Amino acid sequence: MHSREHVAFNKRALEAGYDMSELEAQVDRRLAIVRERHPIVNLAATMALEHFTAILAHQLLKNPKHLRGADRESGDLWRWHAIEEIEHKGVAYDTWLHATRGLSRWKRWKIKAKVMLFVTKNFVVDRSRGTLGLLRQDGITGFKAWRRMLWFTWINPGMLRKILGAWLAFFLPGFHPWKHDDRNLISKAESDYDAAVLPQPAAA
Ligand SMILES: [Fe+2]
Ligand SMILES: [Fe+2]
């Protein structure tokens, strides 16, 4: 179901006239690099990405400002996606705890910290390039594109700034995704489909 919606979302962007080929090629390149590495490093990369998506999802559901101006259907898709990401946020981490149970705490931490820094750097670089590429297709380029992107991601609504604390928590000793139980956000967003409980941004 999850993959189906990912494919459908990309198809919709394609139908709207966006060229997604460079974005997709970059994802394939990154995946190819990771696949050459040791399975434990692969697992750590998955775990790091899942932490990322979980804290992004948390922030997305918590703060309706992030979807300000989105049309209803797209907003629903993003909220549904965020629910899914929170629901499975502990799976990769539990797999990691099991797969690395023979390693020392220091070794485990070193691998996961290194991989997280690497994944974060790639994530920020790739997503920024992707954003600038999509803005270019909308005719927004140069300084204006950079300014808008940095303002949106770091200042207002400032998704990256707002997830900074949760991102850092990953490096703390004894970290586990479910130490931060945010299931209440799931039920709050789910109930939105019936009773519009989740606060909605005013139509732009
Ligand atoms: Fe997803
Ligand atoms: Fe996920």
Q: pLDDT by residue (tens digit) across 11-67?
A: 889 999 999 999 999 999 999 998 999 999 999 999 999 999 999 999 999 999 999
CA 82 – ligand 2 centroid, Å: 9
Cα 71 to ligand 2 centre (Å): 24
Banded pLDDT at 190 (limits 50, 70, 90) = confident
Ligand 1 centre from 2 Cα, in Å? Answer: 6
Tokens for 140, please give them.
């927004």
Instruction: Tell me the pLDDT band of 188, cut-offs 50, 70 and 90.
Output: confident
Summary mean pLDDT of the chain: 91
Task: Please report, for residues 120, 173, 181, the alpha-carbon distance to residue 88 in angstroms, rounded to integers and kept in the order given.
Answer: 20, 22, 12
Cis peptide before 64 (omega within 30 of 0): no
The ligand whose atoms approach the alpha carbon of 53 most closely is 2
Measured CA to CA, the distance from residue 89 to residue 104 in angstroms comes to 24
Q: Is the pLDDT score of 192 beyond 80?
A: no
- pLDDT at position 8: 85
Supply 188's token pair.
């709050």
Average pLDDT estimate for 76-83: 91
Confidence of residue 114 (pLDDT cuts 50, 70, 90): very high
Please state the pTM of the whole predicted model.
Answer: 0.88
Rounded to the nearest angstrom, the distance between the alpha carbon of 43 and the centre of ligand 2 is 13
Q: Is the pLDDT of residue 125 over 60?
A: yes
**Per-residue pLDDT for 203 more than 60?**
no
Q: What is the pLDDT of residue 197?
A: 45
119-124: list long-range contacts, CB under 8 Å, 24+ apart: 119/45, 119/48, 119/49, 119/52, 120/48, 120/52, 120/167, 122/30, 123/49, 123/52, 124/160
Average pLDDT over residues 176-194: 81
Q: State yes or no: pLDDT of 202 exceeds 80.
A: no
